[in-house]
Amino acid sequence: MQFARVIALAVSIGDKLRPIATKFLTPVLVHVLPGDYHGWIVVIINWICKAVAISVAWYIQRVLSAVHSGIAGGLICTRGLLAWVCTKPRVRKLLHIPESFSHEDTYIDEILGWTLAACGIWFQIARNFTLPFPWNVVLLPFSVTETYIEWQITEM
């Protein structure tokens, strides 16, 4: 379903982009292309619109996925960390955590989780969804597979 939404978004973007692109690109392509190729101008513009629309749709989907996974991951991480801290008597005493502590009784897990989520989302968007050095080499097969799947699903 997620991929179907991306395709639907790409088609919608492409349909809205096509009239504008036709208006501005047709005169340029008429002057650039030889007369024998003028019949291909509409096809070229359609392909350009589809390529731009697919790129925009996949970027929007990446942002949405980053936000969703960042929020879920941040909350899972902080709740797990709080559960682990509660099993350590010395840490509990140091932080003045009562024996009957539960993450549902406080907002600390949400505050820390959302803060961690914001940092993760910012990191992903700031790096334009690319992996830093050692991870880009280690996870290269997965990156290639992801790109292949994206292009197979959005085949023009």
Backbone angle region of 101, left / alpha / beta, with phi > 0 → left and psi within -120 to 50 → alpha: beta
Q: pLDDT tens across 116-139, in order?
A: 999 999 999 999 988 889 999 999
pTM of the model: 0.73
Distance CA 57, CA 5 (A): 9
User: What type of residue is 114?
Assistant: W
User: What type of residue is 10?
Assistant: A
Give the structural domain span for 98: 2-153
Q: pLDDT tens across 17-71, in order?
A: 999 999 999 999 999 999 899 999 999 999 999 999 988 998 998 899 899 999 9
Per the structure, the count of domains in the chain is 1
At 13, is the pLDDT very low, low, confident or very high (cuts 50, 70, 90)? very high
